[in-house]
Structure 1
Amino acid sequence: MGRHRQPEIRDRILDACADHALAHGLPDRLEPLSTASGASARMLIYHFGTRDALLRETLKRARERQRALYLELLSPRPPEPYLSTLREAWKVMTGPVGRPYLTMFNRLREDTAQQLWPGFRQVATTDWLEPLENGLRSVGRPELATLVLAVIRGLIIDLEATGDSARVDRAFEEFVVGLGGRA
Structure 2
Amino acid sequence: MGRHKQPEIRDRILDACVDHALAHGLPDRLEPLVKATGCSTRMLIYHFGTRDALLRETLRRARQLQREFYGDLLSPKPGEPYLSTLRRAWQAITGPEGRPYLSMFGKLRQDAEQQLWPNFRREATTDWLQPLEDGMRTVGRPELATLVLAVIRGLIMDVEATGDTPRADRAFDDFLDALVLGHRLTAPQRRYADALSST
TM-score under structure 1 normalisation?
Answer: 0.97
Equivalent residue, structure 1, for 2:99: 99
Identify which range, 172-181 or 78-87, moves more after superposition: 172-181
Aligned equivalents of 1:114 and 1:143: distance in 2? 31
- The one-letter amino acid of 2:89's match is A
Identity of aligned residues (%): 74
Equivalent residue, structure 1, for 2:188: none
Shift of 1:132: 0.4
Shift of 1:120: 1.0
Matches within 5 A, 1:113-128: 113-128=113-128
Give CA deviations for 1:77-117 in whole Å, capped at 9, x if unaligned.
Answer: 02100000000000000000000000000000001111100
4+ runs of 1 displaced by more than 6 Å? none
Give CA deviations for 1:141-164 in whole Å, capped at 9, x if unaligned.
Answer: 100111110110000000011110
Give CA deviations for 1:18-37 in whole Å, capped at 9, x if unaligned.
Answer: 00000111111101001111
Aligned equivalents of 2:4 and 2:140: distance in 1? 54
Aligned equivalents of 1:128 and 1:122: distance in 2? 13
1:57 and 2:32 are equivalent in the alignment: no
Equivalent residue, structure 2, for 1:44: 44
Matches within 5 A, 1:123-142: 123-142=123-142
- The one-letter amino acid of 2:128's match is W
Larger CA Rg, structure 1 vs 2 = 2
- The one-letter amino acid of 2:24's match is H
Aligned equivalents of 1:89 and 1:168: distance in 2? 14
What is the number of residues matched between the two proteins? 182
Equivalent residue, structure 2, for 1:16: 16
1:144 and 2:137 are equivalent in the alignment: no
Identify which range, 120-129 or 150-159, moves more after superposition: 120-129
Could you say what secondary structure the match of 1:58 adopts? helix
Aligned equivalents of 1:132 and 1:112: distance in 2? 28
